[in-house]
Structure 1
């Protein structure tokens, strides 16, 4: 019995390590301008990646889907992370000004008024408060930004693993796959198309691995 418990603990720790990897590996690409952001090392490492080799070890996603997505991301970085097309597409999708083709905030899709800081944002904020999780970014950024939520997923896996399933089931998987499908269709650049595909495959695979039953909201966008 002791050996079985020890093995289960080790398996859970390994799984949470994989969850943390997915969150920390993907979040910087949603949060950082390729030219002026703080993820230069992440972009540089991705540009040199062997897509097939990386896909074989990528957690939760089907290997073929991961390879196709990673190949698109590598292709998108062929001209460098400071390439005008890549930078323009990041700013078009995540910064503005102007109408966002695929807004990166959950409440835009789940709130009847399609607004930021909607009901789902407030629900996430209340959950964080009850769990004693503090923000590390300025208060003007909605908590349900896809990049922030991936970063929080990594934080929870590393520091509060008992909260991961609840967070996925009630706050992230409710809208993120839908948003990522919208982003994939809306983007004009292979890097962000691959990023959307890889993130969606990873999150859906994680939900399946954890056997989570997610109640989807009505999407208004």
Structure 2
């Protein structure tokens, strides 16, 4: 993976962190208020981070609506889009080989990044963990470049994280999440993140 591809991914670094947060924990009041005011003036209704219907509700009702949506999508008892690699890669149980693989990756690269704002994880093959790690590694890579001291280790770690732990399943998962979500921000953020990762997947596949 060359630096231009890393730069493309780095433009989405904050998006990866936001997606990690949204997949990992219900939207609280501070995040809701930030999302409500984040869209530039004139953003089309279908692209807004808080849809018009939800944004028109009283804040407590909006937060309850988004809490129900989070549980429907990610928690269950029968979640529409469980965000675990083990499930989407055909493993019989959450916390199996995919979980062990990402924990081994974190140990070898001395990483401890977790989704921001706490989490409700059953295992570390949760997409929120992978995206938080990607954000962390891209941030470190950018700091190395800005200091005129690029770190090959960061570059190799990003490539390993993408090729072994994210790209085989995350773009497809995010496409499904975009289709299943009834409320923003889940659908629009899934679409944007999935598009960025899918572009990198196609670049990786033809390199």
TM, length-normalised to structure 2 = 0.72
Instruction: Please point out which of 16, 21, 41 is paired with 1:23.
Output: 16
- Mapped partners of 2:181, 2:84: distance in 1: 16
Tell me the equivalent position of 2:85: 106
Contact 1:93-1:102 at 8 Å conserved across structures: yes
- Mapped partners of 1:201, 1:80: distance in 2: 32
Spell out, residue by residue over 1:17-46, the C-alpha distance to the aligned partner (whole angstroms, 9 max, x if none). 4242232232222122123xxxx4443222
Contact 1:177-1:204 at 8 Å conserved across structures: yes
Contact 2:19-2:131 at 8 Å conserved across structures: yes
Instruction: Confirm or deny that 1:198 pairs with 2:205.
Output: no
Tell me the equivalent position of 2:110: 132
Q: How much does 1:157 deviate? A: 0.9
Instruction: Please point out which of 47, 53, 57 is paired with 2:36.
Output: 47
Contact 1:49-1:74 at 8 Å conserved across structures: no
- Mapped partners of 1:140, 1:200: distance in 2: 21
Cα RMSD, aligned residues only: 3.2
Contact 2:94-2:123 at 8 Å conserved across structures: yes
**Counterpart of 2:205 in 1: which secondary structure?**
coil
- Mapped partners of 1:27, 1:138: distance in 2: 10
Spell out, residue by residue over 1:165-213, the C-alpha distance to the aligned partner (whole angstroms, 9 max, x if none). 22111111111112112222333324322222122112223444xx212
Instruction: Please point out which of 51, 56, 63 is paired with 1:75.
Output: 51
Instruction: Confirm or deny that 1:170 pairs with 2:186.
Output: no
The alignment covers a number of residue pairs equal to 185
Spell out, residue by residue over 1:75-104, the C-alpha distance to the aligned partner (whole angstroms, 9 max, x if none). 1651366412222111222233x1111111
**Structure 2: stretches of 5+ with no match in the other structure:** 142-153
Instruction: Please point out which of 150, 155, 159 is paired with 2:131.
Output: 150
Which range moves more in the overlay, 176-185 or 137-146?
Answer: 137-146
